[in-house]
Amino acid sequence: MGFFSISRRAACLLLVATASVHFLGVGGVRGQDSDGQEADGPTLKIGDVAPPLKDIAWLKGESIDGFRQGQVYVLDFWATWCGPCIQAMPHLDKLEKKFGDKGLVVVAITTVDRANTAEAIRKFVDERAGDLQFRFAMCETDVMQEQYMAAARRDAIPCSFVIDQQGKLAFIGLPGETDIVIEKVLNRSWKGQESIDELKSLDERVARLGELLESDPAKMLVELSAIEKEYPHIATTRQFVIGRLGGLLRIGSDDEVKQYFNDATARLFDAKDTIQLSMLAGYVLSPELNPKRRMAAEAEAAIEKTLAIDPTDSNTTVMAAYAYATGGQVDKANLLLDRAIAACEDELLKDQLRQMKSTLQILGNRLNAK
């Protein structure tokens, strides 16, 4: 599901936010055939038999030789440099804890490359995966990347592949989109492409909320609540949190705005979701999206607390800088990125941080032009 479409400049703000959390991704698979030319279409599609697991080193949890009949699997492709991938892991963990006794198995799979070294992967699993129940696996060749990501013509992570009880591919999408899919697959009510089309219809319904946010915020909040009632897991997704906050900033009382902002940030701090925290703060600090500057001081305090969660994480630093830039505090954004550049030992990452600094400088100036 996409973000609410608010206005051209506001959409620019949100698009940069999305780009920011992916900017550390290096050399994504582009789905080419063996001659290096663009292929006609995906060779791995919904309903196909899932490719076997090959060249896998199991870093956490029991190894899996193959997909057992009667079990449902989520293969989630990630990398150590991918902030959104790491932010999605607690959600995947909740899914396995919720549905594990019904046959769900979650496996986080990553492929070794120069930006995602075996050493970095093992360090991440040793230091940060202790509280996660699901399995971690590492592929030192490109076989899993080719069999799944490239074959499905997917070039962005995180990306989750849901495999049904018959070992066939049921769904491909973001980890946060798998809730309804997994539940339906487990109770055998998932109908493949037909069910995917139903989810697309939901996406369209969500997209229309953006128009209501501008034309009739009160009606938008009513419709948002109706969708949440039908699909409870949506209430905590990024676009819904931002959408509800946007509606409340327009028509809610000070108490309502404060209560929702504080509840949302408290939940995100508990989950250590630095990406969503920074996006929420950036929304509040934006003079276009929040011209009355409601909760601005609280948003700045949230940024400082967000940075304290993991001061060395580049994705967290970039998103905090983004939040400052959207609020016109370009000097603070530059200071954060300069510190990150000075502390960085990877020249490729340094160049990317410099590029992001330039992008945020332009964005901040444009969004806050008098």
Domain boundaries, the chain: 8-23+209-367, 56-191
pLDDT at 23: 35
DSSP strand pairing (169-173 vs 159-163): antiparallel
pTM above 0.85, yes or no: no
From CA 164, how far away is CA 50, in angstroms rounded? Answer: 9
> Taken in order 296, 297, 300, 302, is the CA torsion positive or negative?
negative
DSSP-assigned states of every residue in 151-178: TTT--SSSEEEEE-TTSBEEEEE-GGGH
Integer CA distances (angstroms), 336 to 14, 130, 191, 346, 349, in order: 20, 30, 48, 17, 15
pLDDT at 161: 97
Q: Residue 123: how many CA atoms within 13 Å on its side-chain side? A: 7
Q: Residue 224: how many CA atoms within 13 Å on its side-chain side? A: 26
* 3-class secondary-structure state, position 281: helix
pLDDT at 59: 96
Which CATH fold would you assign to the domain 56-191?
Answer: Glutaredoxin (3.40.30)
pLDDT at 369: 65
- The one-character DSSP state at 287 is T
At 365, list the tokens.
Answer: 């100036």
Neighbours of 126 (CB within 10 A): 11
Q: Say if residue 158 is preceded by a cis peptide, omega within 30 of 0.
A: yes
pLDDT at 144: 96
Helix axes 254-271, 274-285, angle to 10 degrees: 150
From CA 271, how far away is CA 266, in angstroms rounded? Answer: 9
pLDDT at 291: 85
Burial class (CB in 10 A: 0-12, 13-18, 19+), 326: buried
From CA 70, how far away is CA 89, in angstroms rounded? Answer: 24
Region 8-23+209-367: CATH code: 1.25.40
Residues in contact with 273: Cβ distance below 8 Å, sequence separation at least 6, in sequence order: 87, 90
Integer CA distances (angstroms), 303 to 275, 278, 285, 317, in order: 11, 6, 11, 10
- Let me know: does 352 contact 22? Beta carbons within 8 Å: no
Q: How do the pLDDT tens digits run along the chain, 370 residues long?
A: 333 433 333 333 333 343 333 333 322 332 233 333 444 667 899 999 999 999 999 999 999 989 999 999 999 999 998 888 888 898 899 899 999 999 999 999 999 998 899 999 999 999 888 889 999 999 999 999 999 999 999 989 999 999 999 999 999 998 988 988 999 999 999 988 888 888 888 888 888 888 898 899 999 999 999 998 888 877 877 778 888 999 999 999 999 999 999 999 999 898 888 888 888 998 899 888 888 889 999 999 999 999 998 887 777 888 899 889 888 888 999 999 998 888 887 777 788 788 888 888 887 777 666 5
207 phi-psi bin (left φ>0, alpha ψ -120 to 50, beta other): alpha
Integer CA distances (angstroms), 170 to 68, 166, 182, 183, 302, in order: 15, 10, 9, 12, 39
Quickly tell me which residue has 């129940």 as its tokens.
133
Burial class (CB in 10 A: 0-12, 13-18, 19+), 168: middle
